[in-house]
Amino acid sequence: MQKRSLGFSLLSALMLLTCILTCVHGCDFAQPVCGAEAEGDVVIGIMLPCHQKVSAPQERIRPESFHCSHFDLETFMLSLATIHEIEEVNAAGFLPGVRLGYLMCDTCSYASKALQNVEHMLAINSSLNVKCDYTDFRPRVKIILGALYSEVSIAVARLLNVYMVPLLSSTSSSSELSEKTRFPVFLRTIPSDIHQTKALAKLMHHFDWNWVGVVYGDDDYGRAAFQSFLWDADANGVCLAYQEELPSFLGHSESKRRIRQVAQHIRSSSAQVVLLILRAELVHAIFEEMIRTNTSRTWIASDSWSSSWYLAHMDGINKIGDILGFTFVAGKTESFDNYLKNLTTPTAGHNHFIEKYKNLRFNCTPECFSSQPPPHCPPDDILKIKSAVACNINNPQEQNDDYLVNTLDTTKAFPNRIAVWAVAHALKKLLKCNTSSCSGETDFPPWQLLEELKKVKFQLDGQDFFFNENGDFVNGYDLLMWEADRHHREIRMIGKYHIQGEQIKLIMKNLNWVSTVNNTTPWARCSEHCAPGSAKKILNVSCCYNCTLCVEGTFSDDSDVNDCQACPNGTWSMRGWTQCKPRYESFLRWSDPHPISMLVAAAFGIVLLFTIFVIFLVNRNSAPMKKAEVRLSCVMMAGLAVSFASVICFIGRPSVHLCRASQLMYAMGFTLCVSCILVKAYRIFLAFLPFGQIVNRRLYKLYKPPVIVIVVTSLQGIICLLWLLFDSPDVDNTPPSPQSMKRVIQCREGSTFIGFGVMLGYIALLAFVCFLLAFKSRKVPQEYSETGYIIFSMLMYLFVWVCFIPVYITNSEQGTSVQASAILVSTYGIIFCHFLPKCYEALWKAEADAVEKILRKWGVISSPDQNSNTETDKDVAGVNTVFQRDNRFSVTSTTTILRSSDILSPVSEVDILPTSNENIHPHPQLIRLGSNVVRRRRSVSC
């Protein structure tokens, strides 16, 4: 067995040596430059990399042939798909009488190598002559299918622009290639990267990832895709934690150092999602670093490696985390799978790539698995494709199995199939084919095929395909997820991205996440979400922020808003609200409990006044009513009724008229009442306080009740008139507090409050004068006067309104209810102090009993035998009787009956003057002509 294996190894080495010698010394460059060929009437060029890279291009100093290494199964499969589809077109007789041939060259993923292939494909008689006009240029190859990478396609397309030879790619997605001014000959059967980067940004937005890192290659594809992603990421709220650029060629002298630096940056960054816009071999190098350091992240793949079998079967691939990515729309073909299971070289041509694959798969090379393999052995990753029965096979070229079908995702060759059929439909139109023959010339200039290709539209597997104005297909992407499958990864389609609607649609709802516990979606945000009612306060980039609550008057009804919205007119919001609401109006509503209670109190007060008025009229001739002055009391009742009525004006939605009416009614009504109290206090003051006769006469001249009432009330009327003219009460238009949803609708007592203050101050002044007069007469017995009632009622009024002032100032929102309550309290104080006692005396207290009790109280009746006391009845006219002893006075008990028809109502009362050490000078009213004084005197000495 070892001899046979050694023999196969020597045979392989001999074949490789022969190939190299031919490349260097041979004159026919067809075999070394292009590894697969089949003759045909119309030849299609195929440029795909069956090898991953060119060996040591930086060491190349002579224009020699390029040496390729690292055989790539995936791109080899894509080239086989293209060849198979060409054979399918021929077998189907789609172009009657015309056979399609192909010439396939390996670009080795290197642009310069691809340009060398183009020279060979376009050569006529082994040369490429320089011309000024290539309109009639008729090379053997009419169209080139490829290349794999955008950087190679860009280089090749620039050269083909000279000859106008169409370049149709199934994998080059750079957005630069859509610019027809720069690349008029380029077309592709996949979407532009403009759509792929949108899909990538939409994917991140879908999974709520906004803090990502990006690593891209320094080639045309990487830079263009990265710039496109920047725009789309910003539009979808995705921010870059970092961006790193790697040399696109793995053999670059700086590649290994830069890969280690990038890997360290990935490990140290807080970004848990990493987008890799790189070739598969660069991704492989980064993954090796991640596996070595046991680093797990969520990786987003660009189309260049999103379905790489080579990466999915890396050792330790399950340690690096989740992998998602987009690939082009795929489709499975049973005939292609059967083709891969039965690979054979064409009879009328050659395919050295198939031969090499079979040698790698079935050739027995045990020395390559030793600790020191010989130089001709492939890398360890390629050795993995070695069949377990390789050393039991006689002829590797005759051996086949289903390894390619089971290992690779053959559905990703669908765009290559579409490319072949697009060319076939364009040729059918150009060659004027019908069901039996094609009458057109097969040796046509390539630009004619390009012209027809741009207009082609066809169906394949039930789908419509055509090129847009940029020469691109817009058939969307498939979303892939790399699921753990033992020691490797299985690539599954979990969704689609529809270009037309720019939407991601997941087919698999329950995803198998590798990097998280309980199969939860990985977290990749710089900051937590800001809940509705708050906004983002950006720190350094838009994705890193603090959440701040919306201030009053603003709102946010969505998560993660940049700024809170201002509330529309008529609405308001509190801090941290998610919506604005109309401010509710606050005033004393008729239906609220407090206004109802005030209304009941005011109504009860009016009813009580009416009841008192009736009692006063019915009992107007009784002694208590005569002493209370019925007419003066009726005027007081009228003023109090107006005050009660003013309270009603405080209830309901305020208006200008109600604001003015409430203040004027209270001011005039209560002033009228207090002016009457002033008359009473003044009367008592004049009647019982000692002054000289001259002073008494002067004060007596001022005692004119109607004049006093009218003048005092008129002064208040003048104050109110000036108030209305210069600073009238109005509805308060002060904006509500920003911290309140309540709009207080209330009256404003003017802009300066001067009129309001003067009005209240005037009433307070009258009340204070009444209090002083009554206080000065406080020693007069209550049975003879109302000093106690006046003192108490005026103190109550002053206390209520003194308390009202600070409450009104500090709590302006409740000013209306406070003032109304103050009016009620002070008005009820007058009723309870002045009217109810008189009603009580008139209804339940007999006059005789009252006199007897009074006399007993003051010692006039001290014993049962008081009738034995000496009594002297004597009529006195105009004389004051005063007994004086040792500067002390002794005043006899006196019953005085006063009659005065000009000033006061007829009064019948019993006045008893207590003993005092003061000089008592009765008011002249007491000694007027016509007054009868009956004096009962008992000797009293002091």
Output the 3-class SS for 512-536. Answer: CCCCCHHHCCCCCCCCCCCCCCEEE
On the question of pLDDT at 576 being above 50, the answer is: yes
On the question of pLDDT at 293 being above 50, the answer is: yes
- Beta partners for 488? 485
Model pLDDT, residue 876: 30
Distance, CA of 240 to CA of 271 (rounded, Å)? 9
Q: What tens digit of pLDDT does each residue of 632-652 get? A: 889 989 999 999 999 998 888
- Beta partners for 395? none
Residue pair 221/149 in contact by the 8 Å Cβ criterion: yes
- Tokens representing residue 489 in the block: 């990864």
Q: What tens digit of pLDDT does each residue of 799-821 get? A: 888 888 888 788 777 788 888 88
Residue pair 251/53 in contact by the 8 Å Cβ criterion: yes
Burial class (CB in 10 A: 0-12, 13-18, 19+), 301: buried
- Beta partners for 298? 273
Measuring CA to CA, how many Å separate 550 from each of 547, 565, 864? 9, 9, 91
How many helices (H) and strands (E) in the chain?
27, 34
H/E element, 120: helix 111-122
On the question of pLDDT at 843 being above 60, the answer is: yes
Average pLDDT over residues 154-178: 94
Identify which has the larger pLDDT, 590 or 517. Answer: 590
Residue pair 452/430 in contact by the 8 Å Cβ criterion: yes
- Tokens representing residue 456 in the block: 């082609």
Place of tokens 């109810």: 836
Over pLDDT 70: what percentage of the chain?
Answer: 84
Average pLDDT over residues 880-885: 32
Mean pLDDT over the full length of the chain: 82
Angle made by CA atoms 615, 617, 622, in degrees to the nearest 5: 80
Residue pair 833/796 in contact by the 8 Å Cβ criterion: yes
- Tokens representing residue 883 in the block: 């007994």
Cis ω on the peptide bond leading into residue 147 (within 30° of 0)? yes
- Tokens representing residue 397 in the block: 């070229």
Amino acid of residue 708 = I
Place of tokens 């492989």: 284
On the question of pLDDT at 108 being above 50, the answer is: yes
Distance, CA of 589 to CA of 650 (rounded, Å)? 10
- Listed ranges 181-190, 331-340, 491-500; the one with the highest mean pLDDT: 181-190
Q: What tens digit of pLDDT does each residue of 427-482 get? A: 999 999 999 999 999 999 999 999 999 999 999 888 899 999 999 998 889 999 99
Give the strand pairing for 239-246 and 211-217. Answer: parallel
Q: Is the dihedral of CA 18, 24, 30, 34 positive or negative?
A: positive
On the question of pLDDT at 65 being above 90, the answer is: no
Residue 889: phi, psi to the nearest 5? -110, 145
Model pLDDT, residue 882: 33
Distance, CA of 612 to CA of 646 (rounded, Å)? 20
Residue pair 622/842 in contact by the 8 Å Cβ criterion: yes
Q: What tens digit of pLDDT does each residue of 8-18 get? A: 333 343 333 33
Distance, CA of 926 to CA of 914 (rounded, Å)? 16
Which of 385, 263, 246 has the alpha carbon at shortest distance from 304? 246
Model pLDDT, residue 219: 86
Provide the pLDDT confidence category of residue 782 given band limits of 50, 70 and 90: low
> 676 CB contacts (<8 Å, ≥6 apart)?
632, 633, 635, 636, 639, 709
Q: Which regions of 296-415 does DSSP assign to beta strands (E)?
A: 298-301, 323-328, 349-351
Q: Which of 75-84, 507-516, 699-708 has the least mean pLDDT? A: 699-708
Q: What single-letter DSSP state applies at residue 551?
A: P
This prediction has a pTM of 0.63
Give the strand pairing for 488-498 and 349-351. Answer: unpaired
Average pLDDT over residues 123-130: 83
Distance, CA of 653 to CA of 649 (rounded, Å)? 10
Which of 624, 695, 649, 628 has the alpha carbon at shortest distance from 846? 624
Average pLDDT over residues 534-547: 88
Which of 652, 650, 604, 587 has the alpha carbon at shortest distance from 821? 650
Burial class (CB in 10 A: 0-12, 13-18, 19+), 249: buried
The gap from C-alpha 312 to its chain's centroid, in whole angstroms, comes to 42
Q: What tens digit of pLDDT does each residue of 277-291 get? A: 998 889 999 999 999
Place of tokens 């004159």: 27
φ/ψ bin of 868: left (φ > 0), alpha (ψ from -120 to 50), beta (otherwise): alpha
- Tokens representing residue 73 in the block: 């199964």
Alpha-carbon torsion, ordered 500, 501, 502, 505, to 10 deg = -110
Model pLDDT, residue 932: 36
- A 10 A CB-CB count for 58 gives 10
Give the strand pairing for 42-47 and 100-105. Answer: parallel
H/E element, 115: helix 111-122
Measuring CA to CA, how many Å separate 45 from each of 42, 139, 194, 624, 690? 10, 11, 27, 133, 139
- Listed ranges 27-41, 156-170, 499-513; the one with the highest mean pLDDT: 156-170
Distance, CA of 110 to CA of 75 (rounded, Å)? 14
The DSSP secondary structure of 637-674, one letter per residue, reads HHHHHHHHHHHHHTSSS--HHHHHHHHHHHHHHHHHHH
Average pLDDT over residues 50-63: 86
Average pLDDT over residues 137-156: 94
Residue pair 914/781 in contact by the 8 Å Cβ criterion: yes
Model pLDDT, residue 783: 57
Residue pair 647/598 in contact by the 8 Å Cβ criterion: yes
Q: Which of 566-570, 618-622, 729-733 has the least mean pLDDT? A: 618-622
Measuring CA to CA, how many Å separate 880 from each of 777, 784, 876, 892, 893? 21, 20, 8, 12, 14
Distance, CA of 37 to CA of 348 (rounded, Å)? 8
Alpha-carbon torsion, ordered 124, 125, 130, 135, to 10 deg = -30
First to last CA, the chain: 161
- Tokens representing residue 374 in the block: 């010989």
- Tokens representing residue 682 in the block: 């003044």
Distance, CA of 428 to CA of 818 (rounded, Å)? 98
Identify which has the larger pLDDT, 891 or 90. Answer: 90
Place of tokens 């990493």: 274
Average pLDDT over residues 663-671: 91
Residue pair 555/579 in contact by the 8 Å Cβ criterion: yes
> 273 CB contacts (<8 Å, ≥6 apart)?
204, 209, 211, 212, 213, 297, 298, 299, 300, 522, 524
Model pLDDT, residue 107: 93
Q: Is the dihedral of CA 898, 901, 903, 905 positive or negative?
A: positive
Over pLDDT 90: what percentage of the chain?
Answer: 44
- Tokens representing residue 770 in the block: 């009444």
Model pLDDT, residue 884: 33
Average pLDDT over residues 197-205: 94
Model pLDDT, residue 934: 34
Distance, CA of 724 to CA of 558 (rounded, Å)? 52
Amino acid of residue 41 = D
Residue pair 669/640 in contact by the 8 Å Cβ criterion: yes
